[in-house]
């Protein structure tokens, strides 16, 4: 069965895949393995590795002193912070680098909960990774706050904004949901949902963008959200989580640092303090995107948001071409339950399914024998699987592709899938 794909816009340039793949040393092997586990963490781009290596070799000191290499170490961290503020279109003071999105969510739950009172309410989406559920639920329970669940469709797993609006009321303090599901690959209309929440309540809006950011870097300011979180180690970089807070969010959040550091925006919501080399290395992701934008014809003098838009469009078109054959294969079979949308519209190239005649781990093992790096499990979307009638203990098979994967690799994946499914 052919799968519909969004037409490539006439002005969307194609990726030069050999150059793209040359920027990821992990892809430089003999080609026997196909990496399809990108949703758990992507390979690291060469410019990131160069910064990390240089930092650890020459600048492994406390940064921001006036002697060298301490001054240079601080400048490397500043370059990363300033670059990401520019990339996301937000003020530098509203960004926090932390160890991961799960850690950042936990810290923010501690920061927000003191402002909640018994009888207040929060809304949590069942579609989310547990990083955007558990911390808020625990904080609410400790404060006597009611948790209202935004349910998913039990068959498709999709969120319907119409199911959210009746949950909003005068005591709703926050709405937490995901930009893209790490199981379904589906993308939710964040900007429209945020606007509708503001029309109907005084609630603030928090969005988990971990599963979306590898495919498109959005501006939280343009989306008009108050808390926006994603993990840079899933966007070709070091193991860091990046978090944006609006002024409204900061106004209701209690600092989580040492009391004498509350004036330092970089440390206010990072009690562990910055991981110096990792923060510096985050600049390498943007160096890679800048080089890719240039390859795609973006003028160097163009605003970074414009250059990133060109990169995102090219990545989206390429990834749709990767996902199409995989979705078509699975949609044609009556021995699998394909999760998420059956075509490439409004979704990423993260594809999950439940086999009917085998447990997911057995199918994954068959893929491994064929040299396909796929995964099985619940992927921390435990509540979503339960809502869809899927046993989280066995979970799903997940294949997750990004822009450095190739059509030839997808052919190998499809061949291995046919063999593994029988």
Place of tokens 């991981």: 275
Q: What is the pLDDT of residues 155-170, one digit of tens each?
A: 999 999 999 999 999 9
C-alpha to C-alpha distance for 87 and 339, rounded to whole angstroms: 32
CA distance 393 to 397: 12
Question: Which secondary-structure segment (H or E) carries 82?
Answer: helix 70-88
Residue of 283, 324, 335, 318 whose CA lies nearest to 304: 283
Which of 127-148 are b and which e, b meaning 16 or more Cβ less than 10 Å from the residue's Cβ? bbbbbbbbbbbebbeebebebb
**Collapsed DSSP state (helix, strand, coil) of residue 259:** helix
Residue 278 pLDDT greater than 60, yes or no: yes
Burial readout 312-333 (b: 16 or more C-beta within 10 A, e: otherwise): bbbbbbbbbbbbbbbbbbbeee
Task: Report pLDDT for 10.
Answer: 54
With bands split at pLDDT 50, 70 and 90, how would you rate the model's confidence at 3?
A: very low
Q: What is the dihedral of CA 127, 224, 291, 237, to 10 degrees?
A: -40
Contact yes or no for 203/369 (Cβ under 8 A): no
Q: Provide the CB-side half-sphere exposure for 311 (13 A, CA).
A: 30
Could you report the per-residue pLDDT of 137-148, keeping only the tens digit for each?
999 999 999 999
In the predicted structure, residue 7 carries a pLDDT above the cut 70: no
Both structure tokens of 349: 């190239």
CA distance 336 to 357: 8
Query: What DSSP character marks residue 40?
Result: G
| 124: nearest Cα among 173, 191, 86 | 173
Q: Is 210 helix (H, G, I), strand (E, B) or coil?
A: coil
Band of residue 217 on the pLDDT scale cut at 50, 70, 90 = very high
**Per-residue pLDDT tens digits for 80-91:** 999 999 999 999
Instruction: For residues 248 and 382, give the distance between their C-alpha atoms in angstroms, rounded to a whole number.
Output: 31
Domain boundaries of the chain, sorted by first residue: 17-45+305-421, 50-286
Residue 41 backbone zone (phi > 0: left; psi -120 to 50: alpha; other: beta): left
Partners of 228 in the β-ladder: 207, 244
Find the Cα–Cα–Cα–Cα dihedral 389, 234, 132, 254, rounded to 10°.
170
Burial 258-270 (b: 16+ CB within 10 A, else e): eeebeeebbbbbb
Distances (CA, A) of 143 to 107, 205, 397: 16, 19, 38
User: Which residues are registered as beta bridge partners of 323?
Assistant: none
Give the mean pLDDT of 350-358: 98
Q: What is the mean pLDDT of residues 205-226?
A: 98
pTM: 0.96
245 SS3 class: strand
Q: What does the alpha-carbon distance between residue 64 and residue 273 come to, in Å, rounded to a whole number?
A: 14
Please provide the average confidence, as pLDDT, over all residues in the chain: 96
Pick the CATH number of 50-286 from 3.40.50.920, 3.50.50.60, 3.90.1150.10, 3.40.640.10: 3.40.640.10
Domain 17-45+305-421 sits in CATH at 3.90.1150.10
User: Which pLDDT score, from 0 to 100, does residue 30 have?
Assistant: 72
Residue 9 has pLDDT above 90, yes or no: no
Distance, in Å, from the CA atom of 123 to the CA atom of 109, rounded to the nearest integer, reads 14
CA 47 to CA 31: how far, in whole Å? 22
DSSP assignment string, 147-174 = EEEE-B-TTT--B-HHHHGGG--TTEEE
397-421 pLDDT, tens digit each: 999 999 999 999 999 999 999 999 9
Strand locations in 160-306, DSSP E?
172-178, 204-208, 227-231, 241-245
Residue 298 contacts residue 292 (beta carbons within 8 Å): no
> What are the residues whose beta carbons fall under 8 Å from the beta carbon of 179, sequence distance 6 or more?
187, 188, 190, 207, 208, 209, 211, 212, 218
């Amino acid at each position: 069965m052919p799968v519909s794909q969004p037409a490539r816009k006439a002005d969307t340039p194609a990726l030069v895949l050999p150059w793209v793949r040359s920027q990821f040393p992990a892809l430089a092997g003999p080609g026997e393995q196909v990496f399809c586990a990108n949703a758990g963490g992507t390979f690291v781009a060469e410019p990131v590795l160069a910064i990390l290596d240089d930092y650890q070799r020459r600048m492994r000191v406390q940064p921001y002193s006036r002697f060298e290499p301490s001054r240079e170490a601080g400048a490397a961290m500043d370059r990363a912070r300033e670059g990401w503020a520019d990339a996301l279109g937000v003020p530098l003071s509203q960004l926090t680098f932390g160890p991961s999105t799960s850690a950042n969510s936990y810290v923010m739950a501690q920061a927000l909960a003191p402002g909640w009172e018994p009888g207040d309410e929060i809304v949590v989406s069942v579609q989310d990774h547990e990083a955007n559920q558990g911390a808020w639920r625990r904080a609410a329970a400790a404060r006597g706050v009611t948790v209202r669940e935004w349910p998913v469709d039990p068959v498709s797993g999709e969120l319907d904004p119409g199911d959210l609006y009746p949950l909003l009321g005068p005591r709703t303090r926050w709405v937490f949901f995901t930009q893209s599901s790490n199981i379904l690959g589906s993308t939710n209309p964040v900007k429209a949902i945020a606007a509708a929440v503001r029309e109907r309540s005084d609630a603030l809006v928090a969005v988990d963008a971990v599963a979306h950011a590898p495919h498109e870097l959005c501006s939280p300011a343009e989306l008009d959200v108050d808390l926006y979180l994603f993990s840079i180690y899933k966007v070709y970089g070091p193991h860091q989580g990046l978090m944006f807070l609006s002024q409204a969010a900061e106004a209701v959040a209690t600092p989580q640092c040492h009391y004498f550091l509350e004036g330092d925006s970089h440390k206010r919501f990072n009690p562990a303090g910055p991981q110096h080399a990792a923060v510096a290395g985050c600049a390498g992701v943007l160096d890679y995107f800048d080089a890719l934008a240039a390859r795609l014809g973006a003028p160097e003098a163009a605003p970074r948001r414009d250059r990133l838009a060109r990169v995102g469009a090219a990545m989206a078109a390429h990834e749709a071409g990767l996902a199409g054959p995989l979705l078509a294969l699975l949609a044609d079979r009556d021995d699998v339950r394909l999760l998420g949308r059956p075509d490439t519209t409004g979704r990423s190239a993260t594809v999950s399914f439940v086999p009917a005649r085998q447990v997911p781990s057995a199918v994954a093992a068959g893929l491994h024998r064929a040299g396909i790096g796929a995964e099985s499990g619940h992927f921390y979307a435990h509540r979503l699987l339960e809502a869809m009638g899927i046993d989280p203990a066995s979970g799903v098979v997940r294949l997750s592709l990004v822009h450095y994967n190739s059509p030839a690799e997808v052919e190998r994946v499809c061949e291995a899938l046919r063999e593994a499914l029988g």
